[in-house]
Structure 1
Amino acid sequence: MSAARVFAASLAGCPVFDPVGDRVGRVRDVLVVYRRTRPPRVVGLIVEVPGKRRVFLSIGRVTSIGSAQIIMNGEINLRRFEQRGGEVRVLAEFLGRKVVLRDRSGEATIEDVALEQESPGEWAISQLFLRRPRTSPSPFAKGATITARWEDVREKTTKGEPQSAEQLIATYSDLLPADLASTLLDLPEERRYEVAEELPDDRLADALEEMPEKEQVEILSHLEDTRAADVLDQMEPDDAADLIAQLSDERGEALLDLMEPEEAQDVRLLLSYEPESAGGLMTPEPIIVSPDATVAEGLALIRRHELAPALGAAVCVTLPPYEPPTGRFLGMVHFQRMLRYPPMERLGTLLDEGLEPVRADSSAAEVARILASYNLVSVPVVDENHRLVGVVTIDDVLDYLLPADWRSHDAEEDRRILESASTGTIPVRPNRPGRRIPRGPR
């Protein structure tokens, strides 16, 4: 059932369904246009469909709007959305603007807007949810909140002035990294850099890991070296190495010097390998245990919420030391096998005897064949002395196999890639640049 009123912020990420119940995509923003004497009119929704493509859905095609789902009729036009003059995106450009109350009671900031149905297929902004400036010097204090009608306020800033970066970040605080990256790339260039400056280090690191290399470099180039190094510290070592490899030798070495020593050491190790080798693809932070560790200890290690699923699929057993490069590599124990044994069973007795590690200089193609042949999600990587230096996971190999610009592919391009894959002609990272190895100690 369609709601008569809904708040714009609650629509972010809301699923869109067609009349038969098939999911079409997710709402990314609400598009409005100003009117001379009446509140802004909603003209449509910006919807993200499979393939990360942003398309326009006219409000006239929407039959039901609620905070949990949106239902449309007919078919959606898959032409990529392009904002026209006079159109304003509510979430990206409107929230966070300053207004002055016409009763002369002061200024306030728009935190949300209520969209109300005027007639079938016609929606407009009806109310504004506002926050007054804080009156206490305490950093934890917040100003009072009020609601006001559109006609009760006037904008303090020009219509082209964007919302504060802090407000935009709060609006998208619950987005997954891939969605956050897509949202950032959808912003105007200068706006993107402004928001990147305000994002916490870990959130910006997550978003950068999901972006094409060109946009990664552009955003990093707008950060001061100290901030850039802090963000690189938060990235996975292999992603940080790929990003640093795209920078000049001088800046790459400068950032490595500013990073935490342990993080920089992992990145330097990866940069020392050829990019399309097992060493170049691997993650140098697998779970490593001694042969005397128990099943209970192994399960506790893979249970950590921050651990990527592919890394949590198995633990590596080595002799001391237990930091790469370790002592002699003994084998791996997969989590499914651990589940079949009592908690106090020693992991050294449960090694997978059939799994051979690959050398760090093995080709990426060879690693991909091993993962596919033995239905694995990870394979250990050792050096010439049979010491464990990392593991290559299935996501590392997928990143190698897909075209370098796969994140920007739309649905039609994805279809062509899948057809190429079915005929064995899929391109393997065309024009993939090699890593530059920054000068300095290894």
Structure 2
Amino acid sequence: MANTRVFVARLAGCNVFDPAGDRVGKVRDVLVVYRKDDPPRVVGLIVEIPGKRRVFVSIGRVTSIGSGQIITTGLINVRRFEQRGGEVRVIAEMLGRRVAFNDGSGEASIEDVAIEESAQGDWAISQLFVRRPKTSSSPFTKGATAFANWAEVYEKVTAGEAQSAEQLIATYSDMKPADLANTLLDLPRQRMFEVAEELPDGRLADVLEEMPESEQVGILTRLGDSRAAEVLDHMQPDDAADLIAQLPEERGEHLLDLMEPEEADDVRFLLSYAPDTAGGLMTTEPIIVSADATVAEGLALIRRHDLAPALGAAICVTLPPYEPPTGRFLGMVHFQRMLRYPPHERLGTLLDLGLEPVTADTSAAEVSRILASYDLVSVPVVDENHRLVGVVTIDDVLDYLLPDDWRSHDDGDEVRKRATARTQLVTGSIPLPGVRRHGNGTR
């Protein structure tokens, strides 16, 4: 395998296998250490194993890199990865850096890094793929690209200047929001802020919904008020309400004033409910139709790309108006039932009459028991006049039941907590967790 050259950006997401062919995980980054007179040496890979845990795999345990896969010796330490002093992540920290050519020919930014094996198990950075600044004002052109050896350039960073995260964002463009959130949480804190600030509003909103509250607040605090309001507009109303409740009251009100009026009204509506009730858990954006809507129309609404899977599991049928709070709630039609009927069938004839809605002041514990006892994905929430005000989905309940720091638990701890929560739900012995999210912001 001598003289094998691999570009690091292409390794992101590659599967890692043991010698028996069993999949171990996915590559998330390559770790290097700088040397005085030689190119940085590769010390290992950051690999995501089942359970979203990032672990370190020494480069000495890698027997093969190529064809979109990596083979290891199978001996992997599953201790959670922690970056040590002097270690640099190629994808997270090097891509996007500015360098200058030693011959005085100008500057460029790093778009990819090639690593090469010079001896068995001895890998180092061999080349950089860089892009020079564009010379045309046209938005359709880019700067020229070039390959450069490590010795031909030097790093050029102005003190206090934020490092460009554009290339890192492009590398992770295909990641699901939850995976991208975990990736950002693994970055050095300053780098996480830099990347978050460069994400598009909608993408950042999706990522924030998957992060712990403390990190949400930290990132939102770094954004200007106008940008923060734009991001909140893109978030689900219940998630936006959770986040605003953690901010100082004055800034929360200011951001609500800057948000789109319809979005701000939904958030204020949710903030009016106690956080440990159905009203405090629900989302105000279920699919709502009239009784005359057809199966074909219902299925078309479910196909929306931006619809969360839990909200697509059932459609709410009400009298007009069809925005919460709606006219009188008539019932729900489950996705599977729609599949059993012809496209022209009216949804009003397919209602699940055995599903009783809950009121907005129903306790979170009771909502949890209902979802678990009847194997539901969502349950409708009505006010005192039987008008639909929202639905509580299973992911809302899981978010409520799991501790705020559940992402940092070991896999075994997570499984045990989930199993315990499920048992408590079914037996009715679940304890009420501390006050969850929004409302007065207390616990």
TM-score between both structures, scaled by the size of structure 2: 0.92
1:104-143 aligned at under 5 Å gives the runs 104-143=104-143
**What corresponds to 2:341 in structure 1?**
341
**d(CA) in 1 for partners of 2:383, 2:96:** 54
Query: Counterpart amino acid of 2:379?
Result: V
Could you tell which deviates more after superposition, 52-61 or 423-432? 423-432
| Cα pair distance change 1:211/1:338, threshold 3 Å | same
Measured in 2, the distance between the counterparts of 1:66 and 1:161 equals: 36
1:361 alignment partner, SS class: coil
Report the alpha carbon displacement of residue 163 of structure 1 after superposing the two structures with TM.
Answer: 4.1
Aligned equivalents of 1:407 and 1:78: distance in 2? Answer: 16
Judge conservation of contact 1:94–1:162 (CA < 8 Å) in 2. Answer: no
Question: In the superposition, relative to structure 1, how do residues 2 and 268 fare at CA in structure 2: closer, same or farther (>3 Å)?
Answer: farther
Deviations 1:65-103 (A, max 9, x none): 135222211321122323223222111111222223334
| 1:326 CA displacement | 0.5
Q: Deviations over 1:349-397 (max 9, x none)?
A: 1111111111111111211222122221111111000001111111111
Q: 1:326 to 1:159 in 2, by over 3 A?
A: closer
Q: Distance in 2 between matches of 1:40 and 1:429?
A: 52
| Matched residue, 2:63 | 63
Residue of structure 1 in register with 2:247 after alignment? 247
Aligned residue type for 1:436: G
Q: CA shift at 1:139, angstroms?
A: 3.0
Is contact 1:288–1:317 with CA below 8 Å preserved after alignment? yes
Q: Compute the TM-score of the two structures, normalised by the length of structure 1.
A: 0.92
Q: Does 1:231 align with 2:231?
A: yes
Check conservation: 1:400, 1:429, Cα contact below 8 A: no
Matched, 1:179 2:179: yes
Counterpart AA for 1:265: D
Give the CA RMSD over aligned residues. 2.4
After TM superposition, give the deviation of residue 420 of structure 1 in Å: 3.8
Structure 2 contact 272–439 (Cα < 8 Å) conserved: no
Equivalent residue number for residue 297 of structure 2: 297
| Partner SS, residue 215 of structure 1 | helix
Conserved? CA contact 1:3–1:65, under 8 Å: no
CA deviation after TM superposition for structure 1 residue 408, in Å: 2.3
Give the distance between the partners of 1:431 and 1:27, measured in 2 at CA: 37
Q: Does 2:36 correspond to 1:36?
A: yes
Who is 2:359 aligned against? 359
Cα distance in 2 for partners of 1:395, 1:307 equals 14
Q: Distance in 2 between matches of 1:297 and 1:94?
A: 49
Q: How does 1:306-325 map to 2 (within 5 A)?
A: 306-325=306-325
Q: Structure 1 pair 357/430, CA: closer, same or farther in 2 (3 Å)? A: closer
Look up the match of 1:382: 382
* C-alpha distance after superposition, 1:256-293 (max 9, x if no partner): 11111111111111111111111111111111111111
Q: Which whole-Å CA distance do the structure 2 matches of 1:386 and 1:2 have between them? A: 72
| Aligned residue in 2 for 1:435 | 438
Q: Hey, what's the Cα distance between the residues in 2 that align with 1:145 and 1:394?
A: 49
Contact 2:17–2:74, Cα closer than 8 Å, also in 1? no
> Which shifted more, 425-434 or 84-93?
425-434
1:303-330 Cα deviation digits (max 9, x unpaired): 1111111111111111101111000111
1:217-249 CA distances to partner (integer Å, 9 max, x unpaired)? 111112121111111111111111111111122
Letter in 2 for 1:352: D
What SS does the aligned partner of 1:65 have?
A: strand
Q: How far apart are the structure 1 equivalents of 2:122 and 2:159?
A: 23
Cα distance in structure 2, aligned partners of 1:340 and 1:120: 60
Q: 1:418, 1:346 → 2: CA distance?
A: 39
User: Does residue 1:331 correspond to 2:331, yes or no?
Assistant: yes
Q: Distance in 2 between matches of 1:293 and 1:25?
A: 45
**Does the CA contact (< 8 Å) of 2:424 and 2:430 recur in 1?**
no
Deviation at 1:58, TM superposition (A): 0.5
Instruction: Name the residue aligned to 1:149.
Output: 149
Cα separation, 2, equivalents of 1:159 and 1:44: 29
SS at match of 2:389: strand
- The separation in 2 between residues aligned to 1:70 and 1:211, in whole angstroms, is 30
3-state DSSP of counterpart to 1:332: strand
Secondary structure of the residue that 1:70 maps to in structure 2? strand
**Residues 371 and 418 (structure 1 numbering): CA distance in 2 closer, same or farther, change over 3 Å?**
closer
User: Does the 8 A contact of 1:97 with 1:110 survive in 2?
Assistant: yes
Counterparts of 1:144-293 in structure 2, within 5 Å, are 144-157=144-157, 163-293=163-293
Aligned pair in 2 of structure 1 residues 64, 428: CA closer, same or farther (>3 Å)?
farther
Deviation for aligned residue 1:423: 6.3
- In percent, how many aligned pairs have the same letter? 76
Q: Counterparts of 1:149 and 1:132 in 2: how far apart (Å)?
A: 15
Q: Give secondary structure in 2 for the equivalent of 1:19.
A: coil
* Alpha-carbon displacement from aligned partner over 1:101-128 (angstroms, at most 9, x marks no partner): 3344322221101112212212111221
Structure 2's unaligned 5+ residue stretches are none
Q: Secondary structure at the match of 2:28?
A: strand
Between 1:281-290 and 1:136-145, the stretch displaced more is: 136-145
* Number of equivalences: 438
Q: Deviations over 1:18-74 (max 9, x none)?
A: 222333222221111223333221110112223333221100001111352222113
Q: Deviations over 1:149-186 (max 9, x none)?
A: 22333333489987412232222222211121112222
Tell me the equivalent position of 1:6: 6
Q: Do the aligned partners of residues 108 and 117 (structure 1) sit closer, same or farther apart at CA in structure 2, a change above 3 Å counting? A: same
- Distance in 1 between residues matched to 2:419 and 2:243, nearest whole Å: 30
- Contact 1:17/1:70 (8 A) holds in 2: yes
Change (3 A) 1:132 1:126: same
Task: Please tell me whether the aligned partners of residues 242 and 438 of structure 2 are also in contact (alpha carbons under 8 angstroms).
Answer: yes
Query: Which residues in structure 2 correspond to 1:84-123 (within 5 Å)?
Result: 84-123=84-123
**Contact 1:131/1:143 (CA < 8 Å) preserved in 2?**
yes
Displacement after TM superposition at 1:431 (Å): 3.8
Provide the C-alpha distance between the structure 2 equivalents of 1:226 and 1:32, rounded to a whole number of angstroms. Answer: 38
1: CA distance, partners of 2:158 / 2:423: 55
